[in-house]
Amino acid sequence: MTLIRDDRQPQVTCDTCPASFRHIYPEAEFLDLMTDIQSDGWRPRKVAGAWHHTCPDCSKTAERRLL
């Protein structure tokens, strides 16, 4: 996941494509942001100590490749 901080508000972008989550939350509501992106189909995973997030479209593509 890439966090872009615009005026101290985190914006989540996909690590696979240029998509970004449609809402921006205040810094103090970071945990709400993480809950909402997962509810919206974003997929978080930790790889080698670093967090990565993929948007719903990229997550579906990755799942199809595994089948």
**Closest by Cα among 63, 56, 50, 62 to 22:** 56
Residue range 11-57, pLDDT digits in tens: 788 989 999 888 888 888 888 988 999 999 999 888 899 888 899 99
Task: Tell whether the model's pLDDT for residue 66 goes beyond 70.
Answer: no
- In angstroms, rounded to a whole number, what is the distance separating the alpha carbons of residues 61 and 12? 19
Model's pTM, two decimal places?
Answer: 0.71
Which residue has better confidence, 55 or 63? 55
Which residue has better confidence, 54 or 63? 54
Mean pLDDT of 3-9: 61
